[in-house]
Structure 1
Amino acid sequence: MTTEKLTILLAGASGVFGREITTALTGAGHTVIGLGRAAANGVPADLLDRDGLLRAVAGTSADAVVHAATALKRPPLRHRDMAATDQLRILGTRNLLAAAREVGATRFIAESMVFGYGYGDHGDTPLAETDGWAPVQRDPALEQHVAAMRTKEELMLGAGGIALRYGLFYGGAGTDAMVQMLRKRMLPLPADGGRALPWVTLADASAAIVAALEHGRPGQAYNIADDAAVGFREMAELTAEVFGAPAPMRVPRWVPGMLGYLSVILSTNLRVDSGLAHRELHWRPSHDGARAALAEQA
């Protein structure tokens, strides 16, 4: 556990989540050095270019490295929307750990996802970190996504880092993106679309980064999600109601199947137990349910 002020190399600092993390870390008194392809970063570099990355960080010193880099510009609907992020989770993580050694970092935090447990129906009992991974489904596209998430975690935990298994993001820019999709009628959902899924606001997810740096146990993964799971269509309808956007289009169940990845999300039933994060990180959601969190933003 540490409460000292750290210098943190943040991969993905210019992204939606990265900007939230930067605000949370600097608000806690830490110093952030942004790392990413955008010129606005303190260290402009491509995580997939190992040699270029090592040249870019040469001479930089940091106490910790946070991996929050993705290639997502909006919520992914098709399997191909995840391809570049899958690469960042595997090759990008390996290269970032090499850069971490170069800058002298001894603490590592990885943004992970609850879908590392696997897609599909997990039943109604919340999964804890001790439950382990479910068998990978026999779908090549899903295997690629799940393997990428698990590899990222394994690499970070193997280096003595910490993995934060987030629910789906909402709130802030995450909700803005859904509102835009609803207003443009770009979110087709069946009437019964969506089983129970874990969610977490971007602000709470960012607070978990700070908590993990200050209180986290090396080599440990933590579930980070709201106390109550919410179906995807339920979240979309709630967002539309709070922000005055059109409700999501009602379409036959086979329509989202044409998109691929969205269909997988809609067919997944998953709840997680964030009790370990409550106890060890002293982290809890800052609101009482999704409606309250959305109302704070509206």
Structure 2
Amino acid sequence: MTTNQSHESSQSHRVLLAGAGGVLGGHIARALTEAGHKVTGLGRGARNDIRADLMNRDALLRAVEGHRFDTVIHAATALRKAPMRHRDMYATDALRTEGTAHLIEAAQATGARRFVAESMVFGYGYGDHGTRAITEDAPFGPRGRTPELERHLAGMRVKEQLALGTAGLEGISLRFGLFYGPGGTDAILLMLRRRQLPVPADHGRVLPWIELTDAARAVVAAVERGRPGQAYNVADRVPMGFGAHLRCVAEEFGLPKPLPVPLWLMRPMSYAHTMMTSALRVSTAKAERELGWTPARPTVRDGLAAMRAAAGLT
């Protein structure tokens, strides 16, 4: 760590957190507060400190007028439940493009120096990436094979380009694995209890995962020690197939196993089918080296066990 980074990490930041009312946003707000930073939540809900819609540029700029921040974090999403069809992602795709452009204007208007953007490992492309662990040097946001995939990838591509390429802002992008954990796994538990969650076999395909409190810790590390203009992969130690993940949830919480189905039956759930037929591993060496971050929950089973214990279940 450089002297500059050490000095930076010791200071309290005034943080504007877009998406503070979401599941990830709630974890980020708690982690930042516990680290001594002052968090102002931004979003459309009544529980936010500043109420504004990222898609409404003029209203957003009016809402932040007179405020001053050191850091702005973009963790906003339009998702209220797991996306099943491609169209379920369209509003979030727009937040990643237009919403990011508007939030960057708000960051500049409030004097912020640092801008931390939530991104996803799927920005490396949907599909089978084989067994190699992808580093941050790999192309990010390649052109999608279909119009739907291009819409999703363009959202991640543009969001990162805006975050990292805006003059005068210290942009940092965190490329997260799939989220799970407190607040994120609850809907899956309900569906498993009701036996409403069929899942196909993984056939050796695995994906990166990240427990939500570990993800929030990575955001704090990026605020305090991230290198401007850099992207970081954030995931746990052991990638796991989508079906294996759901079966692990069922086992840990003593619930019925998800119903096995052939993969072709999932095709009407177009986005879920795309994820389930993807295979992806990432390296987190850069985040560990530059941010000083390591996952406290190194595997999905560790994270689920901690979640179960916190809920008072044995």
TM-score range, shorter chain: over 0.9
Q: RMSD of aligned C-alpha atoms? A: 1.2
Aligned counterparts of 1:241 and 1:227: Cα–Cα separation in 2: 20
TM-score by length of 2: 0.92
Q: State whether residues 238 and 298 of structure 2, in contact with CA within 8 Å, keep that contact through their aligned partners in structure 1.
A: no
- Summarize the Cα distance change of 1:151–1:194 in structure 2 as closer, same or farther, 3 Å threshold: farther
Q: State whether residues 119 and 176 of structure 2, in contact with CA within 8 Å, keep that contact through their aligned partners in structure 1.
A: yes
2:212 paired with 1:202: yes
Aligned counterparts of 2:84 and 2:191: Cα–Cα separation in 1: 11
Indicate the residue corresponding to 1:263 in structure 2: 273
- Summarize the Cα distance change of 1:186–1:193 in structure 2 as closer, same or farther, 3 Å threshold: farther
Q: State whether residues 194 and 232 of structure 1, in contact with CA within 8 Å, keep that contact through their aligned partners in structure 2.
A: no
- Match runs of 1:21-170 below 5 Å: 21-133=28-140, 135-159=142-166, 160-170=170-180
Q: State whether residues 193 and 266 of structure 1, in contact with CA within 8 Å, keep that contact through their aligned partners in structure 2.
A: no
- Alpha-carbon distance, 1:171 to partner: 1.1
Aligned counterparts of 1:114 and 1:21: Cα–Cα separation in 2: 19
Aligned counterparts of 1:275 and 1:257: Cα–Cα separation in 2: 35
Q: State whether residues 144 and 153 of structure 2, in contact with CA within 8 Å, keep that contact through their aligned partners in structure 1.
A: no
Indicate the residue corresponding to 2:243 in structure 1: 233
- Summarize the Cα distance change of 1:61–1:194 in structure 2 as closer, same or farther, 3 Å threshold: farther
Aligned counterparts of 1:187 and 1:108: Cα–Cα separation in 2: 38
Q: State whether residues 194 and 266 of structure 1, in contact with CA within 8 Å, keep that contact through their aligned partners in structure 2.
A: no
Indicate the residue corresponding to 1:285 in structure 2: 295
**Mean Cα deviation higher: 245-254 or 141-150:** 245-254
Letter of the 2:223 counterpart: L
SS in 2 for 1:258: coil
SS in 2 for 1:51: helix
Aligned counterparts of 1:6 and 1:218: Cα–Cα separation in 2: 16
SS in 2 for 1:181: helix
Q: State whether residues 141 and 153 of structure 2, in contact with CA within 8 Å, keep that contact through their aligned partners in structure 1.
A: no
Structure 1 gaps of 5+ residues are none
**Mean Cα deviation higher: 178-187 or 4-13:** 178-187
**Mean Cα deviation higher: 185-194 or 66-75:** 185-194
Indicate the residue corresponding to 2:312 in structure 1: none
Count of residue pairs the alignment pairs up: 298
Structure 2 gaps of 5+ residues are 309-314
